[in-house]
Amino acid sequence: MVALYHESHVNYPPLDGSLSLPELVEFNAQNNSDVTFFVYEKPDRNDLVSISHSDFHRACHRAAQAIRPDCAGADKEVVALIGISDTILYQTIFMGIIFAGLIPFPMSPRNSAAAVTNMMQKTRCCRLITTQHSLASLIDGVKAGFVSHDPQTSQLQIDEIPALKRLYPALAGGTPDGVIVPHSSLGLPWSKHEVLFYLHSSGSTGFPKPIPISNLTAIHWCITGRSSSRRPH
């Protein structure tokens, strides 16, 4: 699975900071709707399926609605994401969390349960989206860590990652929905210096440390990536 961009067919969005990362996804869905974003190889046969910017945009809204139906809970809560899945599903869930008005914190499943618990506590994160069937031992350790930290007040919510066929029904032989009702949290105001998502350090000298990534930093990465892709080789 790879992301493909055809230079001559792409209408590039402004990268002056006027659009946030989710707004860039919206821009591409409207202005580059048929441009290929991913190529997916079906596991049961050798067919290659193109996933467009429009397909990705609709899937992000489906993910947001699955993750936060009816805008339940508070805005901009941190949500840990630990899963063993394909790239398309993982990136869609990551962006879907942002579309839902929340802050994703993707963590490597190679971290210990103590490290995951420590990072979640440092970012006041009490929700985990994961693949429980493949990471049962790690998730059990995280549960135990929350209970031992404060058994009276610990409230850890654990949810399974939505299935690929739920976000991309056409890949499972279904009919893609032509119209998606935008998740209402997508219009939340985000300042340039506000945390958009978290990453974490390697943890080579101890527990890995949460690294806040602001809207402005994410846009700067987009600008750098675009400049590199257009540079002659």
DSSP 188-229: ----TTSEEEEEE---TTSS--EEEEEHHHHHHHHHHHHHHH
Q: How many helices (H) and strands (E) does the chain have?
A: 7, 8
Helical pair 113-122 and 136-149, crossing angle rounded to 10 deg: 50
pLDDT at 233: 47
Phi and psi dihedrals of 127, rounded to 5? Answer: -135, 140
How far apart (Å, rounded) are the C-alpha atoms in residues 94 and 64? 9
Residues ≥6 apart with Cβ < 8 Å to 39: 1, 2, 4, 48, 49, 50, 51
Round to whole Å and give the CA distance between 90 and 104.
11
Q: For residues 182 and 61, what is the distance between their CA atoms, to the nearest angstrom? A: 6
Specify the pLDDT at position 14.
83
Report pLDDT for 61: 93
pLDDT of residue 151: 60
For residues 2 and 38, what is the distance between their CA atoms, to the nearest angstrom? 6
- Looking at residue 142, the DSSP 8-state letter turns out to be H
How high is the mean pLDDT in each 10-residue block of the chain (233 residues)?
54 82 90 91 77 93 92 91 94 95 96 96 96 95 87 78 91 62 63 91 88 90 65 50
pTM over 0.85: yes
Q: Is the dihedral of CA 65, 71, 76, 82 positive or negative?
A: negative
Query: Are 104 and 22 spatial neighbours (Cβ–Cβ below 8 Å)?
Result: no
The pLDDT, as a whole number, for residue 2 is 46
Instruction: Map out the domains of the chain as residue ranges.
Output: 7-230
- Inter-CA distances, 27 with 20, 22, 77, Å: 10, 9, 25
214-230 burial: b if 16+ Cβ within 10 Å, else e: bbebbbeeeeeeeeeee
pLDDT computed for residue 6 by the predictor: 46
For residue 51, the model assigns a pLDDT of: 92
Assign domain 7-230 one CATH number from 3.40.462.20, 3.30.1540.10, 1.20.80.10, 3.40.50.12780.
3.40.50.12780
The DSSP bridge pattern shows strands 36-41 and 48-52 to be: antiparallel
